Amino acid sequence: MAGEPMRWQYRSGFGFAINSGCFISPVGPKREGTYAPAARPSEQLLERAFTTRESQPFSESDRRDAAEDQRAWRADAVVVDPRLPDAEALRITAERLYGAPARLVGGMFVWNVRSG
């Protein structure tokens, strides 16, 4: 589990929430313990980019799922650390998924995903 996002949140004075925050709970049909809730569709897509280090194809259904995930998380932004070994795959996948290029803000790739 990567702790840097939580350290970044702490340094910001907890001024924002992180989706799938750290807690232990049972998820899935087997009710296995995990440190996060069941992954939402766009989270799974970005996780594949992270683990394979390759940009991922997506469909219009994936784009609709991403919009629904953003609403469920009440997300204002998606943030990727460009220092990650997989950052380029994540950046390309996210740019395609969110339909906009990343902005470099405070040393991080950021997408504004506010709805309306």
Q: How many CB atoms lie within 10 A of CB 49?
A: 23
Residue 103, Ramachandran bin (φ over 0: left; ψ between -120 and 50: alpha; else beta): beta
pLDDT of amino acid 60: 92
pLDDT digits (tens, 9 = 90+) for 74-91: 888 888 889 988 899 999
pLDDT digits (tens, 9 = 90+) for 13-24: 766 666 665 556
Pick the more confident residue, 102 or 21.
102
Domain of residue 59 covers 39-116
CA–CA dist 15, 9 (Å, integer): 7
CA–CA dist 97, 60 (Å, integer): 9
pLDDT of amino acid 5: 65
The partner residues of 112 in beta bridges, in order of sequence, read: 77
Same domain, 20 and 54: no
Same domain, 76 and 52: yes
Same domain, 55 and 98: yes
Q: Report the number of distinct structural domains present in the chain.
A: 2
The overall average pLDDT reported for the chain is 82
Same domain, 7 and 52: no
Same domain, 21 and 78: no
